Amino acid sequence: MERIKALEQIASQLGDELVICNIGFPSRELYHVKDSSKHFYMLGSMGMTSSIGLGLAMAQERKVVVFDGDGSVLMNMGSLVTIYNQAPPNLVLVVLDNECYGSTGNQCTYTSTTDLKNVAEGVGFKETFLFQDSEDRIDFTPVLNSKGPVFVHIKVSPGNANVPVIPMEPDEIKERFMREVQENK
């Protein structure tokens, strides 16, 4: 399954959850399949979606779903340790693992040999899920029914969808999202 299909399937199963999405093509693809004021498209700060998601989950009670990438998790791996130890019950960390830095030209990461779900379990995560590349349907219900922090490892095939850049300014994305969070506590 390609990343855009995984994003589309999960997004279609979300309701009131807040979403933090990784830099680059993942955000473009999510915007393309479904836009919402509940989405924060993170621009610029590779590695920081999990940290932003953790802060948001701790600051309010709504469930937070983070779409992260394998390269970004590798870049900020310490975030897994902080998330596990802070243990926000309302945080779901989804890693879309294409074994490469997809947004910058598909350079290989090390996740073909280093298993990120094993890493998360080694850190202490009790609720972990794995969806293989070969699966054609992601049932997200058991994930949403689990008490966080939840780690969801989704193997996807490399490849970026041919979708345009998000036609919103960074400030617009941020302010729309902040309003959504503040007005619907």
Among 1, 24, 65, 173, binds ligand TPP (CB under 6 A): 24
Residues 45 to 104: which contact ligand TPP by CB under 6 A? 46, 69-72, 96, 98, 100-104
| Residue 21 sits in the site that holds ligand TPP (CB under 6 A) | no
The minimum distance between CB 100 and ligand TPP, in angstroms, equals 6
Helices (H), 41-90: 49-59, 70-75, 78-86
The minimum distance between CB 108 and ligand TPP, in angstroms, equals 10
Is the backbone of residue 44 left (phi > 0), alpha (psi -120 to 50) or beta? left
DSSP conformation class of 96: E
The minimum distance between CB 74 and ligand TPP, in angstroms, equals 8
Element (H, E) at 67: strand 64-69
Residues 55 to 94: which contact Mg ion by CB under 5 A? 69-71
Closest CB to ligand TPP belongs to which residue?
A: 69
Secondary structure tally for the chain: helices H, strands E:
8, 8
Peptide bond before residue 149 is cis, with ω within 30 degrees of 0: yes
| Residue 8 sits in the site that holds Mg ion (CB under 5 A) | no
